[in-house]
Amino acid sequence: MGEVRVRIAPSPTGYLHVGTARTALFNWLFARKEGGKFLLRIEDTDRERSKPEFERDIIDGLRWLGLDWDEPIVYQSQRLDLYRQEAQRLLEMGKAYPCFCPPEELERRRQEMLAKGVAPKYDRRCRRLSPEERERLMKEGRPFVLRFAMPLEGEISFHDIIRGEIRFANRELDDFIVVKSDGFPTLQLRLRRGRPCDGHHPCHSGRRPHLQHAPPIAPLRCLRLRAAAVRSPAVVAWT
């Protein structure tokens, strides 16, 4: 195993959360014990909700806890080109597709599913569009998001150093959005990008593995970005 590098990546869309502080503490302790590195990355790509005062609060809060980081703070917004290239790769591989459904329409369908008592999920309508239809809608200038084409069969599994083998059936997972209509990558794409596991040691997030941890692993494996190093949801969630 390479050098231990663990990271905390809070979004400056709110004040320092106690859960973030807890995870930061565990990861910092782990890095110090192993003689590795503890890194801080600011997930500032939500342009509407990110605020400098929240960033200040997070940094001050972590310092107040006595935590320090070993490399300059990385600002996610400065890495957008990388994410765009990755999204393009997914698109070219047929692992992502444009979805033209307007947000109001998606919300209406979501409410319908809730009323029927089923877990709301995107109905994959745009995944079934023909290349001609896609081109026509693009030419019309319709706004779109990029969705990850989740495999319809099989399962995804990973080893969590605390909870052991975790498995999710792919069919339970959504075709989540990887790039928003304003061209910004979503957390799902960003989490798994950014030198995903450059020697990152499996660490734990201090939380129960959750469905939300599984989807980012799927595109990671598509892109074969050191997929073998994915051992924990935390590696995905916090690198």
Using rule CB under 5 A, residue 96 touches Zn ion: no
Using rule CB under 5 A, residue 90 touches Zn ion: no
Using rule CB under 5 A, residue 99 touches Zn ion: yes
* Cβ closest to Zn ion, residue 126 vs residue 197: 126
Cβ-contact 26, 64 below 8 angstroms: no
Q: Which residue has the tokens 């877990």?
A: 119
Using rule CB under 5 A, residue 101 touches Zn ion: yes
Using rule CB under 5 A, residue 149 touches Zn ion: no
Which of these, 146, 152, 203, lies nearest to 180 by C-alpha position? 146
Which of these, 115, 193, 204, 109, lies nearest to 166 by C-alpha position? 204
| 237 contact partners, CB below 8 Å, separation of at least 6 | 191, 205, 213, 216
Q: Which stretch binds Zn ion (CB under 5 A): 57-65, 124-132, 156-164, 167-175?
A: 124-132
3-state secondary structure of 37: strand
Using rule CB under 5 A, residue 187 touches Zn ion: no
Options 6, 42, 126, 149; binder of Zn ion; rule CB under 5 A: 126
Question: Residue 145 CB, nearest distance to Zn ion (Å)?
Answer: 8
CA pair distance 228, 232, nearest whole angstrom: 11
Q: Which residue has the tokens 């074969």?
A: 224
Q: Which stretch binds Zn ion (CB under 5 A): 92-100, 188-196, 208-216, 222-230?
A: 92-100
Question: Residue 108 CB, nearest distance to Zn ion (Å)?
Answer: 13
* Cβ closest to Zn ion, residue 3 vs residue 107: 107
List contacts with Zn ion (CB under 5 A): 99, 101, 125-126
